[in-house]
Structures are given as C-alpha cells and as structure tokens.
Amino acid sequence: MRLAVVGTDTGVGKTVVTAGLTGWLREEGVDASAVKPAQTGYPPDDDAAFVAEACGTADAATCLRRLEPPLAPRVAAEREDVTLGYDVIRDGCERELDTTTVGIVEGIGGLRVPLAGEREVIDLVSDLDCTAVLVARSGLGTLNHTALSVSALERRGVDVHAVVLNEFEGASVAERTNPAELERMTGVPVHTVPPLVFSEPADTVDELRKHLPPSVLPAGALNG
C-alpha cells in the first residue's frame, strides 16, 4: 500500500503527521516506512531524520536527496548547480516503497511546488499511484486552499482519503465551522489535530494517536 502525506503549503505539519502515522503502523506490527523525495533547507531541516527518531529506528524513514537552500527542490538544485532528475527521484521512491508493506511518501511544501525539471510534487504523487492524506491549516483561508488541493489531486486520479486540519483550537467561528464546511465542499472526511505538545520526536506518535481515529488510514493499512 502506498500513502502520500501532502500539504496545502509548507509548514502545515506534514512531517508530524508522517511521523505519527508511520510510528502508529509500526506499533501495530505493520512493516511501514517513510520516504522524503527531497529535503531542502538542510541543515537544519531533516524531515526523514525526525520521522526515524519518532519511530525509534533509522530504517523507518529515508531521504533521497538533501539540498541546502530553503527553496523548492528544482530551484535549490539550480542554486547549488547540481542535477536533480525527476526520473531518478521517481525511481528512487519506487524502490523504497517496494521494500515495505505500507510506504508513506512525505510531500515537499504544497502540491505545485517545482520538484525537478518541469515536474511538480503532485506529478510524483500521481505517478507513484499513492492514496493521499492532505494536511492543511485550520483557520481562516483554509477552505479555498484545501478544496483546490483536493480538486487538483482528484483531477490527477489520486484518491484523497482524508484531510487533517492541523493545530486546530476552535478559537474562531471560521475555525470551528471549517471541518464541516470542508466535508461538504469536498466529500472527504476531515479530522482535526490540536497543537501537539511534545518534548522529543517519539512523543508525536502517541500524541497523534490520541486525536486521530484509525479511519484516517486507508482500509487495510493497519492489517498490513
């Protein structure tokens, strides 16, 4: 099974959700691992390392390519004058996903972030035939961004299994009404996760499991 944790934007919480879902599956005895196709802003950013630490083992996550500029991968590669080939990234993801029962691809920024050449993150999700969990912000403005992202994925033949509104506090009318409105607009189940408090990456697994139902994962995932 292949799952992509993608976002409406950068900084919406994809890595925390990826870590939580990967660790959840592994705790249930499912052979699961995550792959980050490309990491920019490295160092200090290292999403795969965070997921691996959250799961307590290095084989829980891998990153195919790390680039220093905190930019879209294609732009970062140009700035570093290095080659970043889409076929290499896609084939690398294929290899990693084929080694595990449930493979989770963590996206990079939003869906239309330039990845390599003329290809974008959404191209990779589609080409890898992943089911998607879309992570979005909770507050004002998320209706438009989230609905457009769901539509873009569905137009590419990607099944959007769930939307996760991250750092949900219900502090405003917009925030409190967004989950139901998004379900109406998209027909996709919407779940909320409050701001998580954790002292180390390993805490994210338990914290996420407290707030998300098993149905956030596609049918059969927890059975391996």
134: β partners: 6, 163
Residue labelled with tokens 């972030």: 113
| Element (DSSP H or E) covering residue 90 | helix 86-97
Residue labelled with tokens 């991968």: 73
Distance between CA atoms of 87 and 124, rounded to whole angstroms? 10
Task: Indicate if 36 belongs to the active site.
Answer: yes
Catalytic residue among 36, 65, 90, 161, which? 36
Distance between CA atoms of 190 and 41, rounded to whole angstroms? 30
Could you tell me which of 47, 51, 50, 48 has the C-alpha nearest to residue 24?
Answer: 51
- Classify 94 as helix, strand or coil: helix
| Element (DSSP H or E) covering residue 136 | strand 131-137
Q: Which residues form the catalytic set?
A: 36
